[in-house]
Every structure is written in structure tokens, then in C-alpha cells.
């Protein structure tokens, strides 16, 4: 297994780790959005889906632990690579310029770290019920099952929360729009015709995902989705 | 025409612990510059003036001055080899600048390219990469018949795209991470497309990447600054090809 450890420590091994974990996280973000879009179908649909997920038992824990491992690996490798990148240029240019790098590509470290902060907040908010404990207090008092619909709508009717979520989607868009196209290049896929197409698809998918997420928060805020107390 | 120059002056060579040494940007006013002068001729004129004034001339690398040797190279206003695409610094002319322009001139910035003096950097890291595998092993003796191994035209063209690399280091200088992946990718791609090179492809990919990493270059983040800065316009396709070759070589490693 020496090949694996030397691959792992190499520059390209690090990049491949970022690409593979990145695309798995990207898959999760799609599934997460598709699940949440059921909010538009009303309380029954999304609560039924939530119950189905919760009933997966051990399988759900396997998915959760796997996802956490992938996430940690993505962040840790990203930190390792960007530290090496910083060290590779000990003296900065006095008069720097950019030739063709996109804004999204130049802000990957910053957008990535911002998303890390967002994910922690998001988990504290909905998963652990730390930041908005009202709903969880009610649930503990023995309300009917896990009412995801009420949890989400009661949060997003607060303008600060809905707008914060929407703002973070801009960051998610930037991160994904560069990340998806990078995946192909890093794994060695480059083609005169398809690379242009991948860039467009990367942009559109990122827009769709971030837009869909923002739509959920803003629909509750604007009253398109009815709030259930 | 008249130009204001800001040039990085450094009399002591960079060390691992002190890269900057006594280096700083120094301002020079230069009058009587012809727009037909090449950029390096303009520096020659500045140096003559400095020598007459009893000052130390600006050290910079150059050799052929016709864009093929890869010796020259300075970062001009944040762009390696200056504002013109597909052009080395020696082939750049002063007509590319406005009269009265302010021009910032800096050396390549990378920990793998320590500054020797002023604008001269030590690029022997590239030589060590080449020595670790950017060649085809052949027995010495009489040369083979030139057409003994047929090479399809499309393959020859792709190999030649990469083979145009002059090893100037502009890719490293342009990269936000001081990565050498366009250079190493060019070496990998150059040989991977040719039947003669395919024999040692796995070993080559492993050795080149290992040496590149050991030299302390950064990691590619797919921003493609290198492609835009390369005076030979080598495409980032070669980086994808290197990634592919390296992955294949590592997965099949025994």
C-alpha cells in the first residue's frame, strides 16, 4: 500500500481527493435540495419524507458518518493544499494582476471556509436545535412526530434567518461553479468540445442548486409557502 | 518616449529562511526611449545610464532575444513576459506601452525559484524535474531510420503543442499558487502522445510529479493563469493529461 500513501501525500493525490470528495458532497447537496423542495407540496409530503428518512435506522447513521468523513477529508485536504500553495510563494508581487482566473476560482478558499461556518450554523439551527430552541422545546413536550414543515417555516419567517440563508447561497454558488468544472480537469478529463460544455453545465448546476435553496428560504419569508406555527 | 520604472533590486541571493533579503522596489525615470526598442533594449539603456552614473546595473537574464531560448522572463505589471499574449519579454516592444507609462518589473516569485540577484532567478528546479524523467531512454549508437516508427499526424501535433515549451517558468510566475503543473504537464504530454515515449510513461509520470512536489512548487487550482501567461500558448489540456497519466501510473503501480 505504499503507492496509496505516496499518492495521498502527492500534489495530484491531494487534488484528486478534493475532486472526489467534492463531487460526493455535490451529490449530497442535490439530494438535500430535492428532499427540501417537497416543502412546496405542503406539510404532509415533507413530513412523510422526513419520517421515511428517520426510519432508515442504521443505514441513516452509515450515511451520516460517511458524509461527515467525506466533509472532514475535503476540508482537511483543502487546508493542507492551500497551506502548501501559500508556502510556494514566499514573497508576493508588489503589483499583482490577474490574467484570466475567474472570481469564483480565486475565492475558493474563502468561499470554502465561509461554507464551513454556514454548515456549522445550519446544523446548530436545524439538526441540534441550539440557535432556535423554541421548536425543539415544543417537540420535546410531546407534539405529533417530527414536524419538519413547522420547524422550517417558523424559522424562515424571521427575515434575518431567511436572508442569511439566501446570502450563503451566493457563496455556495461561487464554490460549486468552480468546483464542478475542476472535478473534470483534475481527474484528467479535457476535451476541445466537452470542456466548454462542462463549464456551462457547472455554472448552471451551481445556479440551480443555490437558487433552489435560496428560493425555499425566500418563499417562506414572502409568504408563498404558508407558515405553520 | 519617457517611462517610470519600478524595479525589484536585491543584491543578496534568497535563502530558504530569508527570501526577501535586502530586496525592494526602486524607482527609475528613463527618458529618450524609442517605441521601436525591445523591452530588454530599454533595460540595456537603463543599465548604461546607471553604469555612467556609477550605480550597479540591473541584473536580468537573457540570451537569444528571439523568443526561443527561455532565458528571459520578468513579471511586468503583474504579467509574466508583459502585456502581449504569446510573447516572451525579449520579443516585447516598447510600443506596447504608452508614453509616460509606469512599469513595475519583478522577478518570478516562487520558493522553488530563489532570486539570485535583482530580476535573475535560479530555475534549476526545472532542470532537476527534466532529469528525473522528461526524456526517452535510448541506447547510443547510430541513429534509427527516422520513419521506422510511424506516428499519426494528430498525435504528433499534440505532442508538438507540448514540446514548444521553452522552460522559461512563466507558468509558475503567473500561477496564484506558484505551481509548475503546466511545465510538468507539458513534459508528460509531450512524451505520452508518442510511441517512443509511451514505453516509460508510468515511471515518467511518477518521477516527474515526485520531483515537482519535492522542489516545493504549489498545487494547481484550475485557474488557468499559466495558459494565459505562457509565451508558447501551451494549453491546460496538458495538465489534465498529466493528472490522467499520474492516476494511471499510481493505480497500476506494483
Successive 10-residue mean pLDDT values, chain B, 254 residues? 98 94 97 96 98 98 96 97 97 97 98 98 98 90 85 96 97 98 98 94 97 97 97 97 96 88
Instruction: Tally helices (H) and strands (E) across chain A.
Output: 10, 0
Name the strand (E) or helix (H) holding B6. strand B3-9
From the list B91, B243, B96, B231, the residue with the least C-alpha distance to B168 is: B231
The helix (run of H) or strand (run of E) holding residue B103 is strand B102-106
Number of C-alpha atoms within 13 angstroms, CB side, residue A59?
A: 5
β-sheet bridge partners, residue B6: B27, B104
Which pLDDT belongs to residue A135?
67
Residue of A nearest to B20 (CA): A91
Chosen for mutation from B177, B202, B203 (greatest number of chain A CBs closer than 10 Å) is: B177
Q: Does A94 touch chain B (CB under 8 A)?
A: yes
CA-wise closest residue to A198 among A19, A71, A16? A19
Cell of A210: 443555490
The x, y and z cell numbers of residue A164, run together, are 442569511
The residue extents of the domains of chain B are 3-117, 124-138+149-251
Q: Which residues of B touch A91 (CB under 8 A)?
A: 19-20, 23, 109
CA distances from B217 to A2, B111, B113, B169, B211 (A): 23, 7, 9, 11, 10
Decide if A142 touches B, using CB distance below 8 A: no
Q: Which of B193, B196, B169 is nearest to B181 (CA)?
A: B169
- Could you say which of B20, B181, B250 has the minimum Cβ distance to residue A7? B250
Fold (topology level) of B124-138+149-251: Fumarate Reductase Iron-sulfur Protein; Chain B, domain 2 (1.10.1060)
Which of B57, B103, B58 lies closest to B77 in space, CA to CA? Answer: B103
CB–CB of B111/B19 below 8 Å?
Answer: yes
Contact: B210, A16; criterion CB under 8 Å: no
B247 shares contact with chain A (CB less than 8 Å): yes
Burial class from Cβ neighbours inside 10 Å (0-12, 13-18, 19+) for residue B99 reads exposed
Q: What's the burial of B37, exposed, middle or buried (CB within 10 Å: 0-12/13-18/19+)?
A: middle
Domain ranges of chain A: 2-94+106-221
Ranges under pLDDT 70 in chain A: 135-145, 229
Q: Hey, what's the cell of B245?
A: 497519466
Length of chain B: 254
Rounded to two decimals, the pTM is 0.94
C-alpha cell at A141: 413536550
pLDDT at residue number A119:
96
pLDDT of residue A142: 47
pLDDT at A1: 72
C-alpha dist (Å) from residue B99 to A214, B38, B80, B95, B102: 51, 15, 21, 9, 9
Which runs of E-coded beta strand occur in A16-147? none
pLDDT in tens, B22-36: 999 999 999 999 999
DSSP summary character for residue A75 = H
Predicted pLDDT of residue A137: 59
Q: How far, rounded to the nearest angstrom, does the alpha carbon of residue A178 sit from its chain's CA centroid? A: 13
CB–CB contact B213 A10 (8 Å)? yes
Residue of B182, B238, B230, B184 lying closest to B80 (CA atoms): B230
- Interface confidence (ipTM) of the complex: 0.93
The answer to whether the CB of A85 falls within 8 A of the CB of A180 is no
A92/B contact by beta carbon, under 8 A = yes
Most distant CA pair in chain B, distance: 65
Distance from CA of A120 to the nearest CA of B (A): 25
Contact between residue B47 and residue B105 where contact means Cβ atoms under 8 Å apart: no
What pLDDT score was predicted for residue A147?
84
Q: Are A119 and A72 in contact (CB under 8 A)?
A: no
pLDDT at residue A229, rounded to an integer: 66
Whether domain B3-117 has CATH 3.40.50.12780? no
* B207-211 contacts, C-beta under 8 A, 24 or more apart: B207/B132, B207/B133, B208/B129, B208/B132, B208/B133, B208/B134, B208/B184, B208/B242, B209/A10, B209/A11, B209/A12, B209/B184, B209/B242, B209/B246, B210/A6, B210/A10, B210/B132, B211/B128, B211/B129, B211/B132, B211/B133
Q: Is CATH 1.20.1300 what the domain over A2-94+106-221 is classified as, yes or no? A: yes
Cα first-last separation, chain A = 56
**Residues whose CB falls within 8 Å of the CB of residue B97, separated by 6 or more in sequence, listed in order:** B1, B3, B83, B103
| Ramachandran bin of B110, using left for φ above 0, alpha for ψ from -120 to 50, beta for the remaining angles | beta
Predicted pLDDT of residue B49:
97
pLDDT at B126: 98
Amino acid at each position: 500500500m505504499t503507492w496509496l500513501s505516496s499518492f495521498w501525500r502527492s500534489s495530484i493525490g491531494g487534488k484528486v481527493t478534493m475532486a472526489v470528495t467534492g463531487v460526493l458532497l455535490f451529490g449530497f447537496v442535490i439530494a438535500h435540495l430535492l428532499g427540501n423542495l417537497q416543502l412546496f407540496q405542503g406539510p404532509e409530503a415533507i413530513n412523510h419524507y422526513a419520517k421515511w428518512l428517520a426510519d432508515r435506522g442504521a443505514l441513516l447513521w452509515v450515511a451520516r458518518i460517511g458524509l461527515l468523513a467525506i466533509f472532514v477529508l475535503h476540508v482537511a485536504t483543502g487546508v493542507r493544499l492551500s497551506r502548501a500553495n501559500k508556502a510556494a510563494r514566499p514573497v508576493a508581487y508588489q503589483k499583482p494582476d490577474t490574467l484570466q482566473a475567474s472570481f469564483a476560482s480565486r475565492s475558493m478558499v474563502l468561499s470554502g471556509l465561509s461554507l464551513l461556518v454556514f454548515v456549522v450554523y445550519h446544523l446548530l439551527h436545524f439538526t441540534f436545535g441550539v440557535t432556535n430552541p423554541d421548536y425543539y422545546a415544543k417537540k420535546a413536550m410531546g407534539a405529533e412526530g417530527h414536524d419538519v414543515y413547522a420547524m422550517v417555516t417558523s424559522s424562515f419567517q424571521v427575515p434575518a434567518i431567511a436572508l442569511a440563508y439566501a446570502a450563503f447561497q451566493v457563496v455556495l454558488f461561487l464554490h460549486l461553479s468552480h468546483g464542478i468544472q475542476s472535478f473534470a480537469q483534475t481527474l484528467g478529463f479535457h476535451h476541445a468540445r466537452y470542456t466548454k460544455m462542462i463549464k456551462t453545465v457547472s455554472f448552471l448546476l451551481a445556479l440551480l442548486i443555490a437558487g433552489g435553496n435560496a428560493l425555499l428560504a425566500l418563499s417562506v419569508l414572502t409568504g408563498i409557502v404558508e407558515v405553520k406555527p | 518616449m519617457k517611462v517610470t520604472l519600478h524595479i525589484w533590486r536585491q543584491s543578496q541571493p534568497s535563502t530558504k529562511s530569508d527570501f526577501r533579503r535586502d530586496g525592494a522596489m526602486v524607482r527609475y525615470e528613463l527618458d529618450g526611449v524609442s517605441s521601436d526598442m525591445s523591452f530588454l533594449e530599454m533595460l540595456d539603456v537603463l543599465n548604461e545610464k546607471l553604469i555612467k552614473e556609477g550605480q550597479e546595473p540591473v541584473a536580468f537574464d537573457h540570451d537569444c532575444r528571439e523568443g526561443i531560448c527561455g532565458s528571459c522572463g520578468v513579471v511586468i505589471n503583474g504579467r509574466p513576459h508583459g502585456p502581449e499574449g504569446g510573447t516572451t519579454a525579449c520579443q516585447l516592444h516598447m510600443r506596447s506601452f504608452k508614453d509616460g507609462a509606469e512599469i513595475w518589473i519583478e522577478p518570478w516569485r516562487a520558493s522553488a525559484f530563489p532570486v539570485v540577484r535583482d530580476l535573475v532567478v535560479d530555475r534549476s528546479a526545472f532542470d532537476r524535474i527534466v532529469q528525473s524523467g522528461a526524456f526517452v531512454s535510448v541506447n547510443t549508437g547510430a541513429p534509427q531510420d527516422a520513419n521506422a516508427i510511424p506516428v499519426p499526424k494528430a498525435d504528433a501535433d499534440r505532442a508538438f503543442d507540448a514540446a514548444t515549451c521553452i522552460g522559461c517558468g512563466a507558468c509558475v510566475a503567473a500561477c496564484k499558487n506558484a505551481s509548475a503543473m503546466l511545465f510538468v504537464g507539458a513534459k508528460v504530454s509531450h512524451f505520452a502522445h508518442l510511441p517512443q515515449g509511451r514505453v516509460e510513461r508510468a515511471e515518467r509520470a511518477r518521477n516527474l510529479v515526485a520531483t515537482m512536489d519535492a522542489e516545493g512548487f504549489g498545487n494547481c487550482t484550475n485557474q488557468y493563469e499559466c495558459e494565459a501567461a505562457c509565451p508558447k500558448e501551451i494549453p491546460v489540456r496538458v495538465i489534465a493529461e498529466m493528472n490522467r497519466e499520474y492516476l494511471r501510473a499510481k493505480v497500476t503501480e506494483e
